Amino acid sequence: MNLTHPFLDLDGDKLREECGVFGVIGNPEAAAVTALGLHALQHRGQEACGIVSWDGHEFFARRGLGHVAQVFSDQVMLSELPGHMASGHVRYSTTGGQGLRNVQPLHADLARGGFSIAHNGNISNAMHLRQELVEKGAIFQSSSDTEVIIHLVATSRYPTLLDRFVDALRMVEGAYSLICMTPKRMIACRDPLGIRPLVMGRIGDAVVFASETVALDVVGATFEREIEPGEIVEVRQDGRVTSHRPFTPQGARPCIFEHVYFSRPDSLFAGRSVYEARKAIGAQLAIESPVEADLVVPVPDSGVPAAIGYSQQSGVPFELGIIRSHYVGRTFIQPSDGARHSGVKRKHNANRALVEGKRIVLIDDSIVRGTTSMKIVEMMRDAGASEVHFRVASPPTAHSCFYGVDTPERSKLLAARMELEPMREFIKADSLAFVSIEGLYRAVGGIERSATAPQFCDACFSGDYPTSLTDLAQRTQRESQLSFDKVA
């Protein structure tokens, strides 16, 4: 038994936040406001960030690898981004991989002027479209799926840029929240299913767009509303705001994992406080899977609200049985296995004086590969816990995401390989339970899940993907053909 258990890396076994976007038009310090907004969205992407601004005559851009505070560290740097309009992006790579050439916002000079784009989400037919564009002579400067949209806009034959933009979006499938800039306007839009979030607010006369409401709070903007699924909002330089709805209305399918993990708890999503939703998930988990215990212990920090809800519902005291060091950098700045497992960056430790001799209920938001959950259970036992019960504030994650979340391939997801009891044995817990998908729906929306038309995108739990997955289908077909050829 390790009497001095080492700090644990708990970030290497999490689903990766997709990206975050922010934009403002009509503010004389647009770049500074954007940098502040990106700080509030840093949790959505910590690998790289960028800002593009427009001063009325030309576009200016700065992009870099690392945190917002590293890339935009002083006022001199922001002074290089003049203008009343700016957009920004924080990134964790999903499609396209690492590297400065994939850092957004992307910018290009089109026939009718400059065009920049910041994208949260993932285009699930990007490789198919890219191949078609390359065969027609397109030259790509990045490996990001976002650049496909720029080429589709550039090659569209419609007369106005807005029509070209709509024409481009009609050809893509998947998930997107976009903030685009041209010399005359800022354009914000959300995919027809509203899978990825996007909200709108104001600072005086300036219009602000962001992935989450917390970014509006931080920059002092008032929240007006969510951008509706399939809506395109156009804001001209004179302040005129126009809403367009060019797509056939569909049932909204916002990503339910925003409630579970991705969004900051002080944000609003789908009309509800994320913090309150997570507490409700924890309470639902206590109703569905109670257990005799002495303490409810969250896996910091994402498990805290659900653990509070579990404690309040069950009557079992809430305690911080795992202490996090806030002076160690997050380990998925660089998403390589070496960085994830680096001992230098491990940052959690058991509160031995609290947990020794106690029956513990551990609350976490999800189990992905299961390796981290196993280490947490081991850490509690090494600290002297008499029993360790694991409760998960989401259903089993058994399917990969193709809409902008960096999930492992399905063969590496624990729930795709094992049933509940083998999973419990794998993580070495005394008991293991997940909230049901029906319970999750009740907790976050007070609704019953429709089996034929789910109200959220829950594909990572159910395998019910709300859009076509062209690239996946073509890749699967090629792999099947290769396997057949080898056998033949």
Q: How far, in Å, are 75, 183, 322, 349, 431 from residue 325 at the CA level?
A: 30, 46, 10, 8, 28
* Four-point Cα dihedral 339, 343, 347, 350, nearest 10: 140
CA angle in degrees (0–180, nearest 5) for 306-311-313: 95
Angstrom distance (rounded) from CA 352 to CA 5: 10
- CA separation for the pair 127, 134 (Å, rounded): 10
Strands (DSSP E) contained in 27-112 are 48-54, 59-65, 85-91, 106-110
- Which one of the listed residues 19, 255, 401, 457 is annotated catalytic? 19
State yes or no: is 401 an active-site residue: no
CA 392 to chain centre: 19
Q: How far, in whole angstroms, is CA 30 from its chain's centroid?
A: 24
Instruction: Round to whole Å and give the CA distance between 299 and 264.
Output: 16
**DSSP letters of 347-375?**
-EEE-HHHHTT-EEEEEES--SSSHHHHH
Q: How far apart are alpha carbons 123 and 445 in whole angstroms?
A: 27
Asked if residues 320 and 350 have their Cβ atoms less than 8 Å apart, the reply is: no
Kindly report the length of the chain. 488
Neighbours of 93 (CB within 10 A): 19
Start-to-end CA span in the chain (Å) = 54
Residue 293, C-beta contacts closer than 8 angstroms, at least 6 positions apart: 316, 358, 359, 360, 361, 387, 389
Whether the Cβ atoms of residue 95 and residue 186 lie closer than 8 Å to each other: no
Catalytic residue IDs: 19
